[in-house]
Amino acid sequence: MSQVPELSLKAYTHGSENEKFRFIDQLFTGLKEYGFIVLRDHPVDLSLLRKAYALSEELFKLPETVKDGYKGPAGAGERGYTPFGREHAKGNPFPDLKEFWHVGRDNNIWPREIADFRDVFESIFRALDDAGRIMLQALTIPLEVDRDYFTAMTDQGSSILRLLHYPPIAPGADPNCIRAAAHEDINLITLLVSASSSGLELLTREGQWLAIETSPDNIIVDAGDMLARITNDVIPATTHRVVNPKGPNMARYSMPFFMHPNPDALLTCLPSCRGDGAKYPDILANDFLMERLRDIGLKG
């Protein structure tokens, strides 16, 4: 972790010109060379965040019959509850050992049994959306696009706040299954609020798995497939996984925010990244999303 940039978002939003450009350089370098950065001084209220984890734990303790009543259309996973074992990594036939709940920009499903759930998670969604947009704005300078390029691309984005629950590993669980098999995220960037326990590992550019732990007050940021696609892999997507516990067999709670473009945004190679030519054909963000959701078992 000593070489991975740990950045203060306030250096960009309230710092001097030198501090601002140092943040931009470290963000760009961190995503290119390590695949992720650690962010502190972000706009998510920490007391609200702690309450969110308590509410998330309360949510997943609801009876299965109650949770199943909150599944989205055909259990597609776009809003509300997705049951344990439904999702799998792309190209991996073994299901992940997790269940989750999705909160989006609108058209949400809210559990009636839990007071304050809607207010808390709408507030966290807005704060993470703001933080993600600020970081994408910082990338416009090294990527040589207009300052409002990503702002316009994401103002109605299909972003998702995912409340994750990894139960204790059950006796007799398939040894081929882990909490989250190695994968890359679909979206532009992911903001991962530090989890309740360890298990997250990222694959370094040198091909080594690195366990990632940081203060629970910080956010881990990694690059997804959509950002890799439009940058022609100048910023590669970050491969990561969540391994089964090596110590006490405890539940794990996590809360990633997947920053997505607007559904009608065109994913096209940025001119500054074209080099000898674009590696990927142009595609609408929603078409790419639907394709990847089918790959991971969340779409038929």
Pair 252, 242: CB distance under 8 Å: yes
Instruction: Collect all residues with Cβ–Cβ distance below 8 Å to 88 and sequence separation of at least 6.
Output: 94, 95, 96, 181, 296, 297
Cross-strand pairs, 165: 99, 253
Q: Is residue 140 part of a domain?
A: yes
pLDDT digits (tens, 9 = 90+) for 275-291: 999 999 999 999 999 99
pLDDT at 120: 96
- Residue range of the domain that includes 182: 6-295
Q: Is residue 146 part of a domain?
A: yes
Distance CA 229, CA 281 (A): 9
pLDDT at 75: 45
Instruction: Work out the burial of residue 138: count CB atoms within 10 Å of its CB; fewer than 13 is exposed, 13-18 middle, 19 or more buried.
Output: buried
Q: Is residue 300 part of a domain?
A: no
pLDDT at 3: 61
- C-alpha closest to that of 272 among 107, 145, 83: 145
pLDDT at 204: 85
Instruction: Collect all residues with Cβ–Cβ distance below 8 Å to 279 and sequence separation of at least 6.
Output: 232, 233, 269
CATH number of the domain within which 202 lies: 2.60.120.330
Q: Is residue 263 part of a domain?
A: yes
pLDDT at 1: 43
pLDDT digits (tens, 9 = 90+) for 288-297: 999 998 888 8
- The helix (run of H) or strand (run of E) holding residue 10 is helix 9-13
Q: Is residue 236 part of a domain?
A: yes
Backbone angles phi, psi at 71, to 5 degrees: -70, 145
Q: Domain count of the chain?
A: 1
pLDDT at 297: 81
Q: Is residue 1 part of a domain?
A: no
pLDDT < 50: residue spans in the chain: 1-2, 75-76
pLDDT at 73: 66
Instruction: Work out the burial of residue 25: count CB atoms within 10 Å of its CB; fewer than 13 is exposed, 13-18 middle, 19 or more buried.
Output: middle
pLDDT digits (tens, 9 = 90+) for 125-159: 999 999 999 999 999 999 999 999 999 999 999 99
- Helix, strand, coil in percent for the chain, rounding step 5: 35, 20, 45
pLDDT at 78: 81
